Amino acid sequence: MAESLLQEEKSKLSINLHIPLEERIWNPAHQRKRKVIFIAGPTGTGKTELSLLLSKSLGQCQIISADSMQVYKGMDIGTAKVSSAIRQEIPHHLIDIRNIDESFNVVDFYYEARAAIESILALGHVPIVVGGAGFYYRSLLYGPPEGPPSVEATRLKIEAELEKYGAESLYERLVKLDPVYAETITRNDKHKIVRALEIIELTNKPVSAFSWKCRYPTQDFDFHCWFIYRPREMLYKILEDRCDEMIRMGFVDEVKTMKEKGLLLNPSASQAIGYKQCLSFLETAQTQKDLEEFIQKFKTASRHYAKKQFTWFRQEEAFRWLNVELHNLGTAAEMIMQDYHQGDLF
């Protein structure tokens, strides 16, 4: 009878005979977590190309963008969106899902990304989350950020102070009140500065007090997290070349078009790397000197953001770092694929 039962389970599950019978009989409590791959890293490291290589190696993959600006229609060149042809070949999620006059924040990302992950897994496909927004990855790992709901009167008061004194002044105030959180954002991110000061005023607590550090990763997914990078001196050269290429591709015209559609009314998108500097350029006489100054500021902002990404992900213990100067993208894809399959019983 025992032999009959063993043969039945072997036939149903095609399992390894070295695993004890009681462990081989399916039990919901023993069901493996559903796997999700994270590929994070600064712009210019080859995340997109790596994700496409990985998709072809694993087969039946779908990609979720973890880029806070790729959600906006029309912000194409400056966010280095993958082409529509690639998106037709490999499904991509959270790209072109908002108009420029609509808001999108980390809480929106958390719920929409999780919904995308669930739908991909339901098809038996592999979800690959790709991008550089550390805040977004952290929300998927530990849940959405906590904090009080916004109070209109408080927010309007702080926005009036922003208008009167400027972002630099309010950022310096934030540095004094919450230096830990201030280090994670740029001094020009008006939206996050206002929200941080609002939370502090409403709760008398720093934003960093509402941290993820006391939380455990969510238990319903098995996250395989990778931070792709290149040595900084190499990365900075790639970033500078990338900025020049974006200008050649028509980035200035893209920003002009987005400005006409309401880019200035979007506090997050108007502060995005490149877009912010280009909007300032468009207010000048647009001489050759003005253009050169804009390009230099664009490159500087890109380098500073990459540096901040290194700092952010260095604090994220879930991520393994992979130097793609030492391992080419093909080898990197093989390493990630092997890690993904490691521990599979069947």
Same domain, 68 and 206: no
- Amino acid 283: pLDDT: 96
pLDDT at 346: 37
Show which of 169, 189, 211 is a domain's final residue. 211
**How many helices (DSSP H) and strands (DSSP E) are in the chain?**
15, 6
In a domain, 16, yes or no: no
Which CATH number characterizes residue 205's domain?
A: 1.10.20.140
Residue 90 shares a structural domain with residue 49: yes
Q: Domain count of the chain?
A: 2
Q: Which residues lie closer than 8 Å to 199 by C-beta, 6 or more apart? A: 147, 148, 205, 207, 210
Q: Is the full-model pTM beyond 0.95?
A: no
* Residue 281: alpha-carbon gap to chain centroid: 27
Same domain, 220 and 117: yes
Q: Classify 39 as helix, strand or coil.
A: strand
Q: Is residue 103 part of a domain?
A: yes
Kindly state whether residue 306 falls inside one of the protein's structural domains: yes
Name the residue range of residue 70's domain.
Answer: 35-145+212-341
Asked if the structure places residue 14 within a domain, the reply is no
pLDDT for position 66: 96
Please indicate, yes or no, if residue 68 is contained in any of the structural domains: yes
> Are 196 and 289 contained in the same domain?
no
The answer to whether residue 346 is domain-embedded is no
CA distance 282 to 275: 10
Residue type, 179: P
Structure tokens given for 124: 């038996």
Q: Are residues 119 and 230 in the same domain?
A: yes
The answer to the question of residue 189 being in a domain is yes
Does 140 lie in the same domain as 80? yes
For 128, the 3-state DSSP assignment is: strand
Q: Which of 196, 211, 226 is the last residue of a domain?
A: 211
d(CA 222, CA 36): 6
Residues 219 and 320 in one domain: yes
Nearest to 78 by CA among 39, 130, 43: 43
Regarding beta strands 61-65 and 221-229, do their DSSP bridges make them parallel or antiparallel, or are they unpaired?
Answer: unpaired
Asked if residue 8 belongs to a domain, the reply is no
**Are 194 and 317 found together in one domain?**
no
> Could you tell me if 171 and 141 lie in one domain?
no
**196 and 274 fall within a common domain:** no
Q: Which residue has the tokens 């000048």?
A: 284
Residues 6+ apart with CB under 8 A from 299: 239, 240, 243
Q: Among the three residues 211, 230, 260, which one is the final residue of a domain in this structure?
A: 211
What pLDDT is attached to residue 291?
A: 97
pLDDT tens for each residue of the chain, 346 residues long: 434 433 443 343 333 334 443 443 434 433 456 899 999 999 889 999 999 999 988 889 999 999 999 999 999 999 999 999 999 999 999 999 999 999 888 888 999 999 999 999 999 999 999 999 988 998 899 887 777 777 889 989 999 999 999 999 999 999 999 887 787 777 877 888 998 999 999 999 888 777 655 555 667 899 999 999 999 999 999 999 999 999 999 999 999 999 999 999 998 899 899 999 999 999 999 999 999 999 999 999 999 999 999 998 998 889 999 999 998 999 999 999 999 988 554 3
Same domain, 319 and 299: yes
List the CATH number of the domain containing 235: 3.40.50.300
Q: Residues 127-138, buried b or exposed e (16+ Cβ, 10 A)?
A: bbbbbbbbbbbb
Q: Are residues 167 and 275 in the same domain?
A: no
Contact 182, 172 (CB under 8 A): no
Q: Which of 171, 182, 170 is nearest to 206 (CA)?
A: 182
